Amino acid sequence: MRLLTEHGFGEFYRRNARPLWTYIYRVTGHAADADDIVQDAFVRILKVELPEDEEEQRRYLFRVAGNLMADRWRRTTRERAKLDRAQAPAPPAAADTADVRRIFGELKPRERALLWLAYVEEEDHAGIAESLGIARGSVKVLLSRARARIRDLLQARGVVRNS
């Protein structure tokens, strides 16, 4: 375990900032949130001793970002609930076209993170477990549920046919 040097941090940042930002953006759907969370994650990395292995450092960075996204999601959910209680309910909007990005956004943050890490970052179950701070044995079940949920949402919108 060691703290990163200034040069080591710069190299670590150059290699990981863009993939981390992309991951966060796909999970949150907001560029400004991705910018903020990437910045906060790297600030936290500066303050801790990291493992020697670069892959473990990367997984730790993604886990920190995942925790920051979860914190932001919980805070936003609480704020939205307060606003909903204060406002009259709006009539439901009709679904005109199926937009996969919007459907992906309907998934829970953990489901989005699981799917992103598995299929975009191509992490194995051990890597996903490490990045999200969950048990390795849980990844298979949670990933299966996330796939089923996005499939059901896509089918409900007519984007894919029932199989």
Q: Assess whether 77 and 107 both reside in one domain.
A: no
Task: Answer yes or no: do 80 and 144 share one domain.
Answer: no
Dihedral pair phi/psi, residue 48, rounded to 5°:
-120, 160
Is residue 80 within 8 Å of 127, Cβ to Cβ?
no
pLDDT at 92: 42
* 121 and 48 belong to one structural domain: no
* CATH code for the domain of 59: 1.10.1740
Distances from the Cα of 112 to the Cα of 25, 88, 89, 148, angstroms: 11, 30, 27, 12
Q: Does one domain contain both 75 and 113?
A: no
Q: Give the per-residue pLDDT at 14.
A: 95
Burial class (CB in 10 A: 0-12, 13-18, 19+), 44: middle
Looking at every residue in the chain, the average pLDDT score rounds to: 84
Identity of the amino acid at 95? A
| Gap between the Cα atoms of 81 and 75, Å rounded | 10
Shared domain check, 119 and 141: yes
Query: 3-class DSSP state for residue 32?
Result: helix
Domain that holds residue 35: 1-90
Regarding whether 160 and 101 lie in a shared domain, the answer is: yes
pTM beyond 0.85: no
Residue 103 is part of a domain; what is its CATH number? 1.10.10.10
- Separation in Å, CA 159 to CA 33, 97, 101, 120: 28, 9, 12, 20
Compute CA distances 41 → 13, 27, 29, whole Å: 11, 15, 18
Same domain, 109 and 153: yes
Q: What's the structural domain count of the chain?
A: 2
- Kindly state the percentage of the chain with pLDDT values over 90: 39
Specify whether 77 is located in the same domain as 154: no
Query: Of the residues 55, 90, 125, which one is the last residue of a structural domain?
Result: 90
**Per-residue pLDDT reduced to its tens digit, 86-130:** 775 544 443 434 467 788 888 888 998 999 889 888 889 998 998
Average pLDDT over residues 130-154: 91
Half-sphere CA count of 15, side-chain side, radius 13 A: 13
How far apart (Å, rounded) are the C-alpha atoms in residues 111 and 17? 22
